[in-house]
A and B are shown apart, each in its own frame.
Chain A
Amino acid sequence: GEDVEQSLFLSVREGDSSVINCTYTDSSSTYLYWYKQEPGAGLQLLTYIFSNMDMKQDQRLTVLLNKKDKHLSLRIADTQTGDSAIYFCADRVDGYSTLTFGKGTMLLVSP
Protein backbone atom coordinates (compact mmCIF):
# COMPACT_ATOMS: atom_id res chain seq x y z
CA GLY A 1 0.00 0.00 0.00
CA GLU A 2 0.90 3.65 0.04
CA ASP A 3 3.60 4.75 2.42
CA VAL A 4 4.82 8.20 3.45
CA GLU A 5 8.10 8.58 5.35
CA GLN A 6 9.48 11.56 7.23
CA SER A 7 12.46 12.15 9.45
CA LEU A 8 11.26 12.39 13.04
CA PHE A 9 13.09 15.41 14.41
CA LEU A 10 14.74 18.64 13.30
CA SER A 11 16.35 21.29 15.45
CA VAL A 12 17.30 24.76 14.14
CA ARG A 13 18.16 28.19 15.50
CA GLU A 14 15.83 31.14 15.16
CA GLY A 15 16.47 33.00 11.90
CA ASP A 16 17.89 29.96 10.11
CA SER A 17 16.10 28.10 7.33
CA SER A 18 14.45 24.76 8.08
CA VAL A 19 14.07 21.98 5.55
CA ILE A 20 11.70 19.12 6.30
CA ASN A 21 11.86 16.12 3.97
CA CYS A 22 9.28 13.54 2.96
CA THR A 23 9.26 10.53 0.64
CA TYR A 24 6.22 8.72 -0.72
CA THR A 25 5.79 5.50 -2.61
CA ASP A 26 2.71 5.90 -4.80
CA SER A 27 3.49 7.16 -8.29
CA SER A 28 -0.22 7.95 -8.77
CA SER A 29 -0.13 10.80 -6.27
CA THR A 30 -2.18 13.77 -7.44
CA TYR A 31 -1.51 16.31 -4.71
CA LEU A 32 0.86 16.49 -1.76
CA TYR A 33 0.08 18.48 1.35
CA TRP A 34 1.90 19.95 4.31
CA TYR A 35 0.15 20.40 7.66
CA LYS A 36 1.32 21.88 10.96
CA GLN A 37 0.16 20.58 14.33
CA GLU A 38 0.83 22.45 17.55
CA PRO A 39 0.55 20.65 20.92
CA GLY A 40 -3.01 19.65 21.72
CA ALA A 41 -4.38 21.12 18.49
CA GLY A 42 -5.74 19.96 15.15
CA LEU A 43 -4.03 20.16 11.77
CA GLN A 44 -3.41 23.49 10.10
CA LEU A 45 -3.11 23.39 6.31
CA LEU A 46 0.12 25.15 5.31
CA THR A 47 0.28 24.53 1.58
CA TYR A 48 -0.13 21.89 -1.09
CA ILE A 49 1.37 21.17 -4.48
CA PHE A 50 -0.02 19.53 -7.59
CA SER A 51 2.03 16.53 -8.66
CA ASN A 52 2.83 18.09 -12.05
CA MET A 53 4.57 21.05 -10.43
CA ASP A 54 8.11 21.00 -9.13
CA MET A 55 8.02 24.08 -6.92
CA LYS A 56 5.56 26.26 -5.09
CA GLN A 57 6.33 29.34 -3.00
CA ASP A 58 4.02 30.90 -0.45
CA GLN A 59 5.56 33.68 1.66
CA ARG A 60 8.16 32.02 3.92
CA LEU A 61 7.29 28.53 2.66
CA THR A 62 8.83 26.83 -0.37
CA VAL A 63 7.76 23.35 -1.46
CA LEU A 64 9.99 21.35 -3.77
CA LEU A 65 8.76 18.19 -5.47
CA ASN A 66 10.96 15.65 -7.24
CA LYS A 67 8.40 13.35 -8.78
CA LYS A 68 11.00 11.00 -10.25
CA ASP A 69 12.46 10.29 -6.81
CA LYS A 70 9.08 10.70 -5.05
CA HIS A 71 10.65 13.25 -2.72
CA LEU A 72 8.96 16.30 -1.26
CA SER A 73 10.47 19.02 0.92
CA LEU A 74 9.18 22.00 2.84
CA ARG A 75 11.56 24.90 3.39
CA ILE A 76 10.70 27.50 6.02
CA ALA A 77 12.73 30.69 5.64
CA ASP A 78 13.67 32.81 8.67
CA THR A 79 12.36 30.20 11.10
CA GLN A 80 10.77 31.62 14.25
CA THR A 81 10.13 30.07 17.68
CA GLY A 82 6.43 30.08 16.79
CA ASP A 83 7.21 27.62 14.00
CA SER A 84 8.03 24.94 16.60
CA ALA A 85 5.47 22.20 15.99
CA ILE A 86 5.02 18.83 14.29
CA TYR A 87 4.86 18.98 10.49
CA PHE A 88 3.03 16.31 8.52
CA CYS A 89 3.44 15.45 4.89
CA ALA A 90 0.35 13.86 3.30
CA ASP A 91 -0.21 12.17 -0.03
CA ARG A 92 -3.47 12.24 -1.98
CA VAL A 93 -3.80 9.58 -4.65
CA ASP A 94 -7.42 9.23 -5.63
CA GLY A 95 -10.16 11.66 -6.55
CA TYR A 96 -11.83 11.33 -3.18
CA SER A 97 -9.54 13.62 -1.19
CA THR A 98 -8.41 10.91 1.22
CA LEU A 99 -4.92 11.45 2.60
CA THR A 100 -2.10 9.15 3.68
CA PHE A 101 0.08 10.79 6.31
CA GLY A 102 3.64 10.36 7.45
CA LYS A 103 4.40 10.10 11.16
CA GLY A 104 5.37 13.75 11.35
CA THR A 105 8.57 15.72 11.87
CA MET A 106 8.98 17.57 15.15
CA LEU A 107 10.60 20.95 14.48
CA LEU A 108 12.24 22.61 17.47
CA VAL A 109 13.36 26.22 17.03
CA SER A 110 15.72 27.56 19.67
CA PRO A 111 16.29 31.29 20.32
Chain B
Amino acid sequence: SQQGEEDPQALSIQEGENATMNCSYKTSINNLQWYRQNSGRGLVHLILIRSNEREKHSGRLRVTLDTSKKSSSLLITASRAADTASYFCATTRLNYNQGGKLIFGQGTELSVKP
Protein backbone atom coordinates (compact mmCIF):
# COMPACT_ATOMS: atom_id res chain seq x y z
CA SER B 1 0.00 0.00 0.00
CA GLN B 2 2.93 2.31 -0.62
CA GLN B 3 1.85 5.58 -2.03
CA GLY B 4 5.10 6.98 -3.34
CA GLU B 5 7.00 6.22 -6.46
CA GLU B 6 10.58 7.25 -6.91
CA ASP B 7 12.59 7.89 -9.98
CA PRO B 8 15.13 6.73 -10.90
CA GLN B 9 15.22 3.39 -9.11
CA ALA B 10 19.00 3.42 -9.35
CA LEU B 11 21.52 6.17 -10.00
CA SER B 12 25.27 5.91 -10.43
CA ILE B 13 27.44 9.04 -10.50
CA GLN B 14 31.02 10.13 -9.94
CA GLU B 15 32.15 11.85 -6.79
CA GLY B 16 31.66 15.59 -7.06
CA GLU B 17 28.64 15.37 -9.35
CA ASN B 18 25.13 16.30 -8.31
CA ALA B 19 22.44 13.68 -7.76
CA THR B 20 18.75 14.32 -8.27
CA MET B 21 16.01 11.98 -7.14
CA ASN B 22 12.31 12.42 -7.71
CA CYS B 23 9.30 11.27 -5.76
CA SER B 24 5.63 11.27 -6.66
CA TYR B 25 2.74 10.59 -4.35
CA LYS B 26 -0.98 10.11 -4.70
CA THR B 27 -2.93 11.81 -1.95
CA SER B 28 -2.92 15.15 -0.18
CA ILE B 29 -0.20 15.47 2.41
CA ASN B 30 0.79 17.65 5.31
CA ASN B 31 4.48 17.18 4.75
CA LEU B 32 7.06 15.12 2.95
CA GLN B 33 10.30 13.79 4.35
CA TRP B 34 13.40 12.25 2.88
CA TYR B 35 15.28 9.44 4.60
CA ARG B 36 18.57 7.72 3.86
CA GLN B 37 19.28 4.07 4.45
CA ASN B 38 22.72 2.55 4.29
CA SER B 39 22.87 -1.05 3.18
CA GLY B 40 20.74 -3.26 5.41
CA ARG B 41 20.47 -0.73 8.22
CA GLY B 42 17.95 1.65 9.78
CA LEU B 43 16.75 4.86 8.23
CA VAL B 44 18.15 8.29 8.99
CA HIS B 45 16.00 11.38 8.66
CA LEU B 46 17.46 13.94 6.24
CA ILE B 47 15.00 16.75 5.72
CA LEU B 48 11.32 17.61 6.02
CA ILE B 49 9.30 19.98 3.85
CA ARG B 50 5.81 21.08 4.75
CA SER B 51 2.99 21.29 2.24
CA ASN B 52 3.03 25.09 2.32
CA GLU B 53 6.75 25.21 1.48
CA ARG B 54 8.19 24.99 -2.01
CA GLU B 55 11.88 24.63 -1.36
CA LYS B 56 14.13 23.85 1.55
CA HIS B 57 17.89 23.57 2.02
CA SER B 58 20.04 21.72 4.50
CA GLY B 59 23.77 21.66 3.87
CA ARG B 60 24.32 19.94 0.52
CA LEU B 61 20.65 18.92 0.31
CA ARG B 62 17.95 20.81 -1.53
CA VAL B 63 14.36 19.63 -1.55
CA THR B 64 11.53 20.97 -3.64
CA LEU B 65 7.85 20.24 -3.36
CA ASP B 66 5.15 20.78 -5.96
CA THR B 67 1.80 19.95 -4.40
CA SER B 68 -0.07 20.64 -7.65
CA LYS B 69 1.90 17.86 -9.32
CA LYS B 70 2.16 15.79 -6.14
CA SER B 71 5.89 15.50 -6.56
CA SER B 72 9.12 16.28 -4.79
CA SER B 73 12.77 16.20 -5.68
CA LEU B 74 15.91 15.76 -3.62
CA LEU B 75 19.15 17.24 -4.91
CA ILE B 76 22.47 16.28 -3.36
CA THR B 77 25.22 18.61 -4.50
CA ALA B 78 28.93 17.79 -4.70
CA SER B 79 28.30 14.14 -3.92
CA ARG B 80 30.74 12.04 -1.91
CA ALA B 81 31.34 8.31 -1.79
CA ALA B 82 29.79 8.36 1.69
CA ASP B 83 26.47 9.44 0.12
CA THR B 84 26.12 5.96 -1.35
CA ALA B 85 22.85 4.68 0.09
CA SER B 86 19.17 4.21 -0.65
CA TYR B 87 17.02 7.32 -0.43
CA PHE B 88 13.32 7.21 0.39
CA CYS B 89 10.64 9.84 0.35
CA ALA B 90 7.93 9.47 2.96
CA THR B 91 4.68 11.32 3.27
CA THR B 92 2.53 11.87 6.29
CA ARG B 93 -1.00 13.04 6.70
CA LEU B 94 -1.36 14.03 10.32
CA ASN B 95 -4.75 12.80 11.32
CA TYR B 96 -5.71 11.20 14.61
CA ASN B 97 -7.16 8.18 12.86
CA GLN B 98 -3.98 7.66 10.89
CA GLY B 99 -1.61 8.38 13.73
CA GLY B 100 0.99 10.07 11.61
CA LYS B 101 2.28 6.90 9.99
CA LEU B 102 4.80 7.37 7.20
CA ILE B 103 4.02 6.15 3.70
CA PHE B 104 7.25 5.40 1.88
CA GLY B 105 8.20 5.30 -1.75
CA GLN B 106 10.18 2.43 -3.21
CA GLY B 107 13.44 4.30 -2.97
CA THR B 108 16.32 5.36 -5.18
CA GLU B 109 19.58 3.46 -4.83
CA LEU B 110 22.42 5.95 -5.21
CA SER B 111 25.97 4.85 -5.92
CA VAL B 112 28.72 7.46 -5.81
CA LYS B 113 31.99 6.28 -7.28
CA PRO B 114 35.25 7.77 -6.04
A, B from the same assembly: no
Interface residues of B (CB under 8 A from A): none
Interface residues of A (CB under 8 A from B): none
